A and B are shown apart, each in its own frame.
Chain A
């Protein structure tokens, strides 16, 4: 049994069957990549996992519990964190404040009327956030307005924010899309480090084959809303079906 079990999930948008009959099992403490051509339904699948979309059919179980019908914040509190294709951070807040918010969310839950204590007096949360900033190599930027960070730093910050929630499953939707080569390599290194140092399961959607083959333990190829193959990276490279559906057109 994997930590994430997707069974017979289907999703239709009007006349378009975005997801046909998806079965997917993500094993604990592995990096599972989901690849496929444009419009294959990768983002749709991911949105079904985090509560943004509700699938028409099938079930999604996380750690033995169904996530279907739950709100995004509830699913997040179960232990699933998500990184967006374009970094979603609190642009009006400082880098440190960005990091504090998930730390408070982890400690105090979905809502807390903590209106009388001051932020600087919450030493436990502050320490945790500062530590994560050091780990993300961003401690010197802590008082910067986060909107003014570079694209790569925004991505780092967003990943750091997700990690400070200590999620069991981290979902990434094309984390290197639109990035320069150097930023892409930095992100790969960061994700490798996370994979080695933490008890965490990662599911990643990615177009960049370099990223996929540097990180993935297991790969699912999605085409036209259905999984084509699921296998280890070395077998995926040589698989003719995959070449035809996906690698062929990008090679």
Chain B
């Protein structure tokens, strides 16, 4: 289907079902139960899942296929956000032109940075991209203040022109982002017994965009172009002596992944129309590297998993505080309870980065292929057990 083989079609369908049913899947616990804090089915959190998923899918096209490790991709995300907010200020509150401009501008920006950075490879390439991103970050805070509004961040105001829309609504407030009239913030709440599920227009827009760009990334992976990108990673020398110019291949991959990042930035601004320089900081660039590696670089689904994993734990772990811990461990004798809380304390709340660091180390050491490799190993193990059972009972089927 859609020009994909069976396996890829199945994967696309699974991702489609998971994203479209996310409001249910991520809210398994009744609203009033003690476990409700593990729910993640809130519009803003779900939006973040898919937006960072898009960012990581794009990053994987560069890093997973060509092996070029960019440490500056957050710059494109930031540029995308700024472009989108400017579109809201100048043109209208419709998200379509804003997202389109975000993709175009970040693509052009990626062309420029890629053209220079790709003159080097390996660690020098990484450092160049990092330098460019930090430069953009600092410029956004200083010289470029007229465009970025410096430390305050770029926001909508009541006297923005919005030539195709209105500067202010009838009741004198700033208009909200919409898709041809459908407000991004509009949320339908479905109450089923003790559960409450939230269906948010903005989330569904992001989810559909994710599905579209995930499909596109599958096509790229399976195309001759994708094969060439893997060849770049494998042996550039052989490529050059096979009549292939590696430069435009790597540059194309860089620009495509920059456009994905810009798209993510544009969506972010469409959900919440403001943009700040901190989106370009190196920690944000590092985060997408973590997501991709944690999920499984070079695999199709890995980056999406990694993004979801990190964003989920970031939100859940950082919400847990000592009071919550004391509640959990209340069944223990007092002294022991305090001791356990003391031990767990560094890993939660603001200390959640410690948890992330440990998880990342464990994955890199024991599962170099990321979560995807973990999944494959489990599948193999289950299959192996099943085969064993079969062989003991009756004639054994030859392996596929």
Residues of A participating in the B interface, judged by any CB pair closer than 8 Å: 50, 71-73, 76-77, 81-82, 84, 88-93, 97, 100-102, 104-106, 108-122, 125, 161, 165
Whether the Cβ atoms of A110 and B222 lie closer than 8 Å is no
* Chain B binding surface, main DSSP class: helix
Give chain B residues whose Cβ lies under 8 Å from the Cβ of A104. Answer: 224, 227-228
Whether the Cβ atoms of A111 and B223 lie closer than 8 Å is no
Q: Which residue of B lies closest to A108 (CB)?
A: B224
6 A-B pairs closest in CB distance: A76-B243, A115-B225, A90-B234, A110-B245, A92-B234, A111-B248
**Once the chains are docked, how many angstroms separate the CA of A58 from the CA of B240?**
24
Give chain A residues whose Cβ lies under 8 Å from the Cβ of B227. Answer: 93, 97, 100-101, 104, 119
Give chain B residues whose Cβ lies under 8 Å from the Cβ of A88. Answer: 235, 237-238, 241
What per-residue 1/0 map shows which CB atoms of B201-237 lie under 8 Å from chain A? 0000000000000000001101111111011011101
Give chain A residues whose Cβ lies under 8 Å from the Cβ of B226. Answer: 115
Q: Is B252 among interface residues, defined by CB-CB distance under 8 A? A: yes
Give chain B residues whose Cβ lies under 8 Å from the Cβ of A93. Answer: 227, 230-231, 234
Whether the Cβ atoms of A73 and B243 lie closer than 8 Å is yes
**Once the chains are docked, how many angstroms separate the CA of A125 from the CA of B222?**
15
Given the known A-B contacts A73-B243, A111-B248, are A119 and B231 also in contact in the complex, defined by CB atoms under 8 Å?
Answer: no
**Once the chains are docked, how many angstroms separate the CA of A205 from the CA of B238?**
19
Q: Is B171 among interface residues, defined by CB-CB distance under 8 A? A: no
**Once the chains are docked, how many angstroms separate the CA of A119 from the CA of B3?**
11
Residues of B participating in the A interface, judged by any CB pair closer than 8 Å: 3-5, 219-220, 222-228, 230-231, 233-235, 237-245, 248-249, 252
From residue A41, how far is it (CB to closest CB) to chain B in Å? 20
Q: Most A CB atoms within 10 A — which of B234, B248, B252?
A: B234
From residue A88, how far is it (CB to closest CB) to chain B in Å? 4
Whether the Cβ atoms of B241 and A82 lie closer than 8 Å is yes
Whether the Cβ atoms of B244 and A116 lie closer than 8 Å is no
Give chain A residues whose Cβ lies under 8 Å from the Cβ of B222. Answer: 118-120
Contact pick for B241, options A50, A106, A108, A119, CB 8 Å: A50
Whether the Cβ atoms of B241 and A111 lie closer than 8 Å is no
Contact pick for B243, options A90, A106, A114, A119, CB 8 Å: A106
From residue A19, how far is it (CB to closest CB) to chain B in Å? 21
**Once the chains are docked, how many angstroms separate the CA of A121 from the CA of B219?**
12
Whether the Cβ atoms of B252 and A76 lie closer than 8 Å is no
Whether the Cβ atoms of A101 and B242 lie closer than 8 Å is yes
Give chain B residues whose Cβ lies under 8 Å from the Cβ of A71. Answer: 240, 245
Whether the Cβ atoms of B225 and A112 lie closer than 8 Å is yes
**Once the chains are docked, how many angstroms separate the CA of A161 from the CA of B239?**
11
Give chain B residues whose Cβ lies under 8 Å from the Cβ of A89. Answer: 235, 238
Give chain A residues whose Cβ lies under 8 Å from the Cβ of B248. Answer: 110-111
**Once the chains are docked, how many angstroms separate the CA of A98 from the CA of B344?**
51
From residue A240, how far is it (CB to closest CB) to chain B in Å? 38
From residue B244, how far is it (CB to closest CB) to chain A in Å? 5
Whether the Cβ atoms of A101 and B223 lie closer than 8 Å is no
**Once the chains are docked, how many angstroms separate the CA of A113 from the CA of B4?**
19
Give chain A residues whose Cβ lies under 8 Å from the Cβ of B239. Answer: 73, 101
Whether the Cβ atoms of B233 and A101 lie closer than 8 Å is no
Given the known A-B contacts A104-B224, A122-B224, are A76 and B234 also in contact in the complex, defined by CB atoms under 8 Å?
Answer: no
Give chain A residues whose Cβ lies under 8 Å from the Cβ of B237. Answer: 84, 88
Give chain B residues whose Cβ lies under 8 Å from the Cβ of A84. Answer: 237, 241
**Once the chains are docked, how many angstroms separate the CA of A64 from the CA of B53?**
54
